[in-house]
Chains A and B, each alone.
Chain A
Amino acid sequence: MKNLPLLFCGIFFALAFSFVGLILTSHIQLGSLTQTTEALVPSDDDPTKMVVVEGDPLYPSKSVGLAQQGKLEYISLGCMYCHSQQIRRADFGADIDRGWGPRQSVARDYIMQDRVLLGTMRTGPDLTHLGGRYAGDAGRDWNHLHLYNPQIVSKGSTMPPFAFLYETHKIKNNVSKDALVFPPGSKYGPKEGYEVIPTRRAVALVEYLLSLKINYSLPEAIIPE
């Protein structure tokens, strides 16, 4: 090859082409997505235009406080290398059949996240809707035991134990209210007279996990009845 200007232009435009086509174009299409209400209504001024319902809550909501700190732990520990956070549509894979989420996830679900963790592995199950599947105090207890050692509640799991996020103390006076409650006779529990307390990091991580849920419809993705 002797035509060097052609070589340089070709090298430049080959990548510029995909950069514009994939990155800039999707940014134009998705970059202006905003929060919305679960359903839309025709606008008063222009009935052909659909607008949000005044007064209804806006979705997706932004994750705040402890849950947001927990997300940093999730990122730092590399949880996303085994757990995805995306639900594929009903006829593509068994994501919805497995109960991983009530509907497929769409681009708008992620707009309030400053780091998007879609994930590409399901060595473990999808976590998009974990907080919906394990809700409330029971869900919190389950997740703490599971993080401390997955074998306690998921025998045969290959997930590593995150016991380093917990501290084992000698019980003073009374058992503290945060202490993990092990199933009777569990071989993973602490020695007699000791208790296992979650560190702040573990508390935040579990709050983040519980905050993961798709409990709202979007105009373009309605939860089926």
Chain B
Amino acid sequence: MNFNNIQNLINTLIPSLPSWIVFMSAAIFISFFVINAVVMTGALTVWLERRLLARIQSRLGPNRWGPFGLFTPIADIIKMIGKEDIVPSTADKKIFNLAPIVLLVPVLLVFAVIPMSSNSFLGQLNIGILFIVGVTGFNTLAVFMAAWSSRNKYALFGAMRGVAMLLSYEVPMALSIVSVVLTTNFILNIEGSSLSALSLVGIVEAQRIPFFILQPLGCLIFVTAASAEMSRAPFDMIESESELGAGYHTEYSGIKFAIFQLTEFLAPVATAAIISVMFAGGIRGLSIIPGSISLIAKIFIIVLIFIWIRATWPRLRVDQIMNFAWKFLLPLSLINIFSQAVLLQIFLSSSSISNTELWIIAGINWIIAAVSIFILAKVFGHKGRAKNIPIPSPLANMEFKSE
């Protein structure tokens, strides 16, 4: 199901409609479908995250309404909508009201271009990956709008950290995307495909072996940078509830707060969708399973990994986060691009391409990844494991009574 199919369907059902009405009604149908499906997925993720986090922490988690507490998010949403919507009197009201929408819409837009079948909902968008980089960049703006307009110092602190962090992690993320596009371009050119290397369909097409095997370093950088982009643990700087109350959305309540929460839980799904398309082969999988099912399965596996990370890692400090971006991830992503370009030039300059050659590239890339991470970690990481050697103070003149 995609945009063109719906247009054709409307045209065949009612032949004599003006084309703009067909266009509009198809667009409304598609957006209705996508938004509802995505929001329901968000609700499911809320349940999944709370439930799984509880199991990891040896608790029960929500289990009151529905089987396994499955309907708890519905109760949450009803409660949120029922709450009073407070706008602080000192707030900049227009921007304050606009910020949740600016935050939510990019996440929904991402789902519009994810190829759920051989096509995405919006049809063949030949700059899909560029579109994703573009729209996800909006969240920086939305965070800053929310914080600045609500006129709260805690919110401002969250936004200050957030903007610095989000901007710096865009760089390694974009660079890891570049290496994916590079590889796709090479493979598609050799195969003589007409698909654009920037389109997500093209990227899926090029993944004879999934790119997380072909370029592990790029995948690792992308996962790290993306979890910073959606500000999840261990990079949940903009919210950091133990320090800043609620960070950038301190002043929000009611339905607007619900939108922030929804975005927070949708972001892992959207990121997982991008990762599974770019690195895990998208709809490719076992031939007996329909493509969309295998894509959804991949998305949820990656979401589970994100939840697992959240349950076991504490938050970094803001300067450490910036150091990590510029001193660790940026060199790594440059190494990744360079090595990938050189390898492709060596192996794929011929007119044909065999899977053996791809596996050789993958092997070399794994070695490069291991070595470069090891060296950079030696340079920037903690010096050895913390062995706490007790050092008695000279002031320790306590005379123990002999036992």
State yes or no: do A and B come from one complex.
no
> Which residues of A are in contact with B by a Cβ distance under 8 Å?
none
